[in-house]
Structure 1
Amino acid sequence: MAEFRRNAVKIKHILARRPFKALMIALLVGLVFGVAQIGEPLENMIELGRNKLRSHPASGSIVLIAIDDRSVGEIGSAHWNGSQLASLVRQADAAGARQIHLDDELDDVGTARQAADLESALGSARAQILLPARFSINPVSGARSDYLPPARFARHARLANTNLFVWWDDRVWQHPYAAEIGDRPVPSLSSLLGGADPKPGALFRIDYANDIRSIPMVSASDVLDHRIGPEQFAGKRVVIARTDIGVEHYRAPGVTLVPGILIHIAAAETILRGVPLDLGWPIPLAVALLLAAAVVCARRRAIAAGILALAVAAAIIAPLLLEIAGIHIQMLPPLAALLTAAVVRIVARLRRTYQTRGTINIVTGKPNLQALHQAERNAGIVVSARVANYAQITATLPPQNEKELVEQIFGRLEFGADGAQIYQADEGVFVWVARDDRDESIVQRIEGLQALFRSPIVVATRLIDLAVTFGLDHDASRPLAQRTSSALVAADEALRDGKRWASFNPATIKDADWAMSLLGRLDHAIDKKELWVAYQPKVDCKTGATIGAEALVRWAHPEKGQLPPDQFVGAAERGGRIDRLTYFVLDSALAAVARIQGRDPDFTMAVNLSVLLLSSRTLVPTVEALLLQHRVEPRLLTLEVTETSTLGSAEDQLANLKRLSDIGVQLSIDDYGTGFSTLEYLRRIPASEIKIDRSFIAMLCNSQSDRIMVNSTIQLAHSLGRKVVAEGVESQEILDELRRMGCDVIQGYHTGRPVPLAVLLKRLKSTGAQEAA
């Protein structure tokens, strides 16, 4: 029992070793490539290249009497009668042919006399006569049907199977030795012509290095007219078959479409040069694993690289040499296994290098935060020191003096670290875990360090003042990485508040978690389609007809419930997600327009556009692509841009607005009246619409100043040739006042609340043109 345990322990150690793991991974990759034939397309392409290198003419022992297009034209039909076929057979037989294959379905060979003539020719032939037998499978029902030549002809001949096996790439790569037809094995034509032992179910790979174009071929019309001498057929295997344009053609690897009979002859030529042997991929994979073991176990990189180079060279040369001898192997599975082993070795080496170098600051040689996290020392107070002016100092120092600067900082910090290891982060941050977790002791040490850092340090004869603040984290229950960040946050807060040091307040974690969760949830909501778009109808102020809608994003948060847009749109802008959010809404809105076009080809859709996107180079191409994708005319899309003080001065933003206008997209100045509008602003923005802010519309009937402002805005917009949209219309009284002022379009709860697309479609379908109340 003890011996068994010792052996089990030894096996466990062997399995845990890196070389063994690398070999197992290599074996798995090789098996996947071999069993699933993942690399078969590439393997076939490489084989075609080898075939071109080995290309040689056919043996010439098989001659094709081709019923070609010229013969068909001279005879007048591709289906020759029995007497014509008999004449071909007799002439080939008289010339001394060894075998004659008549590749023709003999069900209809003309009159009885013509059929008797063919039967006589077959019966009196001295050469071995071969006739085709095949099967077919109905692609719909899967039913199989067999074809055998008529008995009166078959009794004078030996049957030859003429089925071709077309591979997934529509090419014929392999060929059968024999097939079951009529409950009996029938040798393939290539087996009979090549003299191979027929093995039912077995396949062999056709050697397309035999140049199909070099196969001896004579026209059947020349044979009938005795223009071909008997020496062409003496001692040869003769095949009589159609090659005209009407016969079925197949793709032979390395060449264009060819008549199927040429592929049969190419297969026979393969056998004539020696029965091919297909070793597949298992044996090469075993050899590759031995080489892979040498690669992963080699201690020197040069030796491993040499073995790998020799192995790759052998993978290129060996198949070529073996195919000359008629042996075919697959090299991609073993090559994939070998390269996998090499990659595993490289990755392992890089990982070891990274683990060594990744824990050291490459400039100063001091341990970094990665080394701190690997040390997993979490007990105690985490102290972070921030040198606020570190970037300014290093920017003025020669690069070689940065190490001296850090060494002096380390030297001073060590007085307050009480023997704890100090770790250097980026941009003047230094961290350690205090061994003494008493607050009074830590504070005294920090006060001492502050006094020490009041004195400048000397680097390269220069006096340098350091602005240092400290941050503390006392919560040992959290991971060390989080505590390090918390201590740094506290140091930054101390710097901001003008203090020497500060402790991290755990109460801020909850707010930070929610802020981070909001952006993360927003990404998730976009990906998982938790966001949805509501559509608020826009109504023609004069006719009351629903002429368009504004797309408004909505979010049913799984934890916070329904969130208003102002709670996440601003966060999306600050967090760099506004482009994803905007394009999501735009995509949904244009899809809605595409559905509505069948009912109303002039229905428009408005989408809010963040000013932050106006500088994006991808804005206009994205809008164009979405319009094209949904087949929506640009004139039906209105992009609403909020009036801001910065918009009018940014040339790149104005250029994008002009490009959008040039392609036909309508532009609208949103929330008009709340920003910094001037006549120059209105002149520069290529907007076709002004949208008056709801704050003015809400007080339209109660405030004389708001009434004057709205009326003057409408008159100004009309004088500039622009439409006016009033948003926030919530009463009939406001609607009537806007009609008197000549407003063009209204939008608000009084004429329609934001609703899902299905409700909007129902509204459009039931009313056609909705009239305002």
Structure 2
Amino acid sequence: MQAVTHIIKNKPSIRNLRNAVIILFITGFFGIAELGAPFELAIESIRNKFRAQSVSQEIAIVGIDDASLARVGTWPWNGEILSELTDNIFEQGAERVFFSMVLLEQSKASDQALADTFSNYPGKVFLAAKKDRAQPGAPEADILPSSKLRDAAQLASVNRYVKFWNGVDEVDARETYQDQEIDAMEMALADKNAGDTQSIPVDYSYQLSSFPYVSALKILDSETSPHRFDGQDVIIGLNGSTLSTRYATKGQRTAPIVFIIGLGAETLKRGEPTILGWVPIWLLSCGVALYILSGLPNGRQLTVGTISLTLLMAAPFLLLPGNIWIEVAPSLFLIGWCTTSTAWQRFGARQKKSGSTNPVSGLRTINAIRHDDRCDNRTLISARIRRYTDIVSTLPAESERKLVHEILSRLQLCAFGSEILQGDDGNFFWLSDVSDPTQMADSFQAMSVIFRSPIRIDASSFDVDVSFGVDQEGDITLSHRISHAMAAARAAESESNYWKLHNPRELDQKSWSLSLLGEMDAALENGRIWVAYQPKVDLKTRNVIGAEALVRWTHETRGPINPAEFIEVAEQHNRIDKLTVFVLNDALAFANEARKIVPDFRIAINISPGLLASDAFLVALKIALHRHDFEAPQLILEVTETMAMIQSEAPAKIMAQLRELGVGLSIDDYGTGMSTLEYLKKIPATELKIDRSFTADICANSNDQKVMKSTIALAHELGMKTVAEGIETLESVEMISSMGCDLGQGYYFARPMKGEDFISMTLNEYSQLFNIG
């Protein structure tokens, strides 16, 4: 009663109660449909091995085996042979004789001879009777001995229902034949009357090998002692390798029906069985399950669950000596699920909250609130440090601690004393009392400027960018708001914004993003994914000398999709190789057309750093070059700079092979990543692309001018050409050109366009369109 009251008053317990009702229904259905039978079979098989015991020796088996059939002849034997076998068995001291196979009618003389023999042993010979169940749905036909034999002996039923495991669980204690009720042969062997007994279980812990067994041939040849069967009942049965059907047993070898009859009789000899089935123990378990899920504060639920599981496993062992038979699979499943569920709630959540302190930085981690069910009206802010993982992968623990300290010292200017929690992969969180979007926007913009200053750790300098995500849904739990804030920060980064406010209305957009992967193959086939081309211009001659291939996706319902969005999905799910090969083949085909106008036309495509981890991309590249008859030096592969590339041998090896092939390598977005001399030294690049962040304000920002000029000089010293991205004004063109930059690319020259437009417009009419010359 206390458990029920607690459930009603406690919301988590109400959820548990709902789950309990569901699992009660499922386990009840399991029991009714016997879906737990395989598990029950496994339990019994193991239990029988532990309970292995010998039979009483009161029953012996005479087998009509291969040796007997080889000497006497094929089955069925005539009445004279069976008469001799019966007489010899009784002469050797048998109390009664049971034929486990139906003795079908033969010739009148044969049946009469056998009937005369049986008449010599009144009440001591039992003949098998069974039903014909060969055709499901058809009326059952009685299969009986001939009328002469029935008059001379007693009948015993040997019907068997074979289970899914090709064995027999239990036997009907009584069957009706020609309006006459006949007890099962097991009942007669055990000297029992069926009475109210409905069924007889078969205890497979009795060892088949312990039955006294004699071949029929030895009895017919008088090779056995005169007192071989003194005081024993004898079952005669078929035991030939091809003649008799063999049944599976629980934990032992297969056996013919004569042995199964013997096991059933031995089970009965122990006493009248009480078969409870699964329902009573399951009903008792239902009460225990409700207590386990009650959430009572006494903390005994797991103890009760563990004890209950132990008792359920042991109960069949403990009850069998009293001949009480139960099935525990539905109850085990019920108590096991409830105990596991409660353990997860108690220890799983606690385990998730463990590790609440980052071992390197010493900061409290986001686990402190990740599983918090409380609500908080304050603004939740997520700060995402771009390429944090790449940076820390190059640092020892002490240097990582310094890096986090530097990041925190900057973030504190925006957090205004709030505790900052550390997440994974460069995510930091805090709760703020500031709710005005304008005030937050000013703070985040200021932080973005501060983070543009490199962070120095020991002898290394690292450029870091930051984006902020904000969640203000104070009416939902903090554990749900974390993912919202993180998603907003990622969106701000992909959109090149300082910050972004989580919008609940965009949830359907997120769900749609998850479907991108499934639609990608179809989009590649139907042309929804296509390749755009943006000109690359020689800043000295102002001629178009090449282009960069840029993948685009025009969704049939959503329109253009941000390339960063679906490229990230492809990279995360190992599909970037297929997408890159598609772009590569389209770009080479386009470049061949462009080279008809500009013979030295060079095409550049972007590749994911992950493709440089194996030889697969190199093989695909060689195949594409051969297919399009394209010269390798006219192809440039643009790779975004990451420190992981120079720390692994595989990318360096692949890049060296690409250079040997003649393919050009370009370091893309230079200035936003590692930006180290070591990186430039180890990457065999032929081209350096300076990120658009340095060209956007180059005419007004003296620092950007210095960075641009020194980068161009450094690249030239290393034998690389330079490309300035993001050029949008004529003034920028003139200034960057005066600094010695080789190539330019940006909206001032042309936006990315379809290949046919590029050739017809850019190459043929370029000078007139831009008035450059």
TM bin (shorter chain) = 0.5 to 0.7
In structure 1, the residue matched to 2:317 is 320
The answer to whether the 8 Å contact 2:378/2:472 transfers is no
Paired with 2:433 and 2:514, the residues of 1 have a C-alpha distance of 35
After superposition, the C-alpha distances for 1:255-288 in whole angstroms (9 at most, x for unaligned) are 3332221211221121122222222223333444
C-alpha distance 122-291 of structure 1, shift in aligned 2 (>3 A): same
Aligned residue among 200, 203, 215 for 2:199: 203
Superposition map of 1:182-193 within 5 A: 182-193=178-189
Q: 1:280, 1:328 within 8 Å by CA — same for their partners in 2? A: yes
| Deviation, structure 1 residue 676 | 2.3
Query: In the alignment, is residue 260 of structure 1 matched against residue 257 of structure 2?
Result: yes
| Structure 1 contact 191–197 (Cα < 8 Å) conserved | yes
1:194 alignment partner in structure 2: 190
* Matched residue, 1:80: 77
How far the C-alpha of 1:241 sits from its partner, in A, is 2.9
Q: Cα 1:579–1:220, aligned 2, differ >3 Å: closer, same or farther?
A: same
Residue of structure 2 in register with 1:270 after alignment: 267
In structure 2, relative to structure 1, the CA distance for the partners of 1:525 and 1:70 (3 Å cut) is: same
Contact 2:101 2:128 in 1 (8 A): yes
Q: In the alignment, what sits opposite 1:670?
A: 627
Task: State the shift of 1:167 in Å.
Answer: 0.8
CA drift of 1:156 comes to 2.0
1:739: which partner in 2? Answer: none
AA aligned to 1:79 is P
Over 3 Å counting, the alpha-carbon distance change for 1:478 and 1:484 in structure 2 is farther
1:338-377 mapped onto 2 (5 Å cutoff): 338-350=335-347, 353=350, 363-365=362-364
Q: Which residue of 1 aligns with 2:236?
A: 240
Q: Relative to 1, partners in 2 of residues 1:644 and 1:360: Cα closer, same or farther, differing over 3 Å?
A: closer
Q: Is the 8 A contact 1:364 1:406 kept in 2?
A: no
Structure 1 residue aligned with 2:62: 65
Which whole-Å CA distance do the structure 2 matches of 1:473 and 1:57 have between them? 75
Q: Given the alignment, which residue of 576, 600, 603 partners 2:571?
A: 576
Q: Are 1:218 and 2:214 matched, yes or no?
A: yes
Question: 1:523 aligned to 496, 511, 518, which one?
Answer: 518
Distance 1:34 1:171 in 2: 19
Q: Does the 8 Å contact 2:161/2:168 carry over to 1?
A: yes
After TM superposition, the score normalised by the length of structure 1 is 0.59
CA contact (8 A) 2:236 2:258 kept: no
**Do 1:68 and 1:219's aligned partners in 2 also have CA atoms closer than 8 Å?**
yes
Shift of 1:580: 5.3
In the alignment, residue 134 of structure 1 is paired with which amino acid? K
User: For 1:631-682, what per-residue CA distance to the aligned partner results, in whole angstroms no more than 9, with x for missing partners?
Assistant: xxxxxxxxxxx998999xx997657877999xxxx9872333375269x999
1:195-242 deviation digits (Å, cap 9, x = unpaired) = 233269933320122222222222333333434344333433222333
TM-score, normalised to structure 2's length?
A: 0.59
Supply the distance in 1 between the matched residues of 2:47 and 2:38 (Cα, whole angstroms).
15
Q: Deviations over 1:483-510 (max 9, x none)?
A: 846874797699x79xxxx575999x99
TM-superposed CA distance for 1:245, in Å, is: 2.9
Counterpart of 1:591 in structure 2 is: none
Cα distance in 2 for residues equivalent to 1:348 and 1:514: 32
Who is 2:121 aligned against?
A: 125
Superposed CA offset, 1:550-596 (max 9, x none): xxxxx9965269x9xx999995697338965988x9xxxxxxxxxxx
Q: How does 1:93-172 map to 2 (within 5 A)?
A: 93-94=90-91, 97-110=94-107, 112-139=108-135, 142-172=138-168
Deviation at 1:168, TM superposition (A): 0.3
How many Å separate the matches in 1 of 2:104 and 2:408? 100
| Worse-superposed segment, 171-180 or 406-415 | 406-415
SS across alignment from 2:145: coil
Q: Contact 2:302/2:343 (CA < 8 Å) preserved in 1? A: no
Number of paired residues? 580
| Kept in 2: contact 1:191–1:268 (CA 8 A) | yes
Which secondary structure state, in structure 1, belongs to the residue aligned with residue 68 of structure 2? helix
Matches within 5 A, 1:143-542: 143-198=139-194, 202-253=198-249, 254-289=251-286, 291-292=288-289, 299=297, 306-350=303-347, 353=350, 363-365=362-364, 412-413=413-414, 415=416, 427=426, 429=428, 435=434, 437=436, 439=438, 484=485, 488=489, 517=512, 520-524=515-519
Q: Is the 8 A contact 1:58 1:215 kept in 2?
A: yes
Q: Is the 8 A contact 1:133 1:162 kept in 2?
A: yes
* 1:157 partner letter: A
> Secondary structure of 2:626's match?
strand
- How far apart are residue 477 of structure 1 and its match? 13
Does 2:28 match 1:31? Answer: yes
- Distance in 2, matches of 1:341 and 1:181, equals 48
Contact residue 643 and residue 676 of structure 1 kept, 8 A: no
Give the whole-Å Cα distance in 2 for the aligned partners of 1:60 and 1:226. Answer: 22
Q: 1:307 to 1:573 in 2, by over 3 A?
A: closer
Deviation at 1:411, TM superposition (A): 5.8
Taking a change above 3 Å as real, the CA distance of residues 558 and 192 of structure 1, as seen in their structure-2 partners, is farther
Runs of 5+ consecutive residues of structure 1 not aligned to the other structure: 1-7, 535-554, 586-606, 613-641, 686-773
Taking the aligned partners of 2:510 and 2:5, their CA distance within structure 1 comes to 51
Q: Give the letter for the 1:328 counterpart.
A: W
For the residue of structure 1 that corresponds to 2:633, the secondary structure is coil
Residue 765 of structure 1 aligns with which residue?
Answer: none
Give the CA RMSD over aligned residues.
5.9
SS in 1 for 2:236: strand
**1:227/1:332 Cα in 2 relative to 1: closer, same or farther (>3 Å)?**
same
Specify every segment of 5 or more residues in structure 2 that has no aligned partner in the other structure, as ranges.
Answer: 528-552, 586-602, 636-655, 662-773
For 1:31-68, what per-residue CA distance to the aligned partner results, in whole angstroms no more than 9, with x for missing partners? 34433433322322222222222222222222223322
Read off the aligned partner of 1:233 and give its amino acid letter: F
Contact 1:404 1:459 in 2 (8 A): no
Distance 1:581 1:43 in 2: 48
1:672-696 deviation per Cα after TM superposition (whole angstroms, max 9, x unaligned):
3375269x999998xxxxxxxxxxx
Q: 1:106 to 1:457 in 2, by over 3 A?
A: closer
Cα pair 2:59 2:212 within 8 Å, conserved: yes
Deviations 1:476-533 (A, max 9, x none): 9999779846874797699x79xxxx575999x99x998995773451465xx78868
Question: Aligned pair in 2 of structure 1 residues 669, 40: CA closer, same or farther (>3 Å)?
Answer: same
Query: What is the identity, as a one-letter code, of the residue corresponding to 1:61?
Result: E
The residue type equivalent to 1:676 in the other structure is P
Give secondary structure in 2 for the equivalent of 1:210: coil
* SS of residue matched to 1:180: strand
CA distance in 1, matches of 2:658, 2:630: 12
Deviation, 1:71, is 2.3
What is the CA–CA distance in structure 2 between the aligned matches of 1:683 and 1:452, rounded to whole Å? 39
Output the CA distance in 2 between the equivalents of 1:257 and 1:483.
Answer: 61
CA distance in 2 between partners of 1:408 and 1:103 (Å): 91
Work out the percentage of aligned pairs sharing the same amino acid.
20
For residue 599 of structure 1, what is the aligned residue in structure 2? none
Secondary structure at 2:341's aligned position in 1? helix
Cα 1:659/1:60, change in 2 over 3 Å: farther
Instruction: Please say if residues 643 and 675 of structure 1, whose CA atoms lie closer than 8 Å, have aligned partners that are also in contact.
Output: no
3-state SS in 1 of match to 2:168: coil
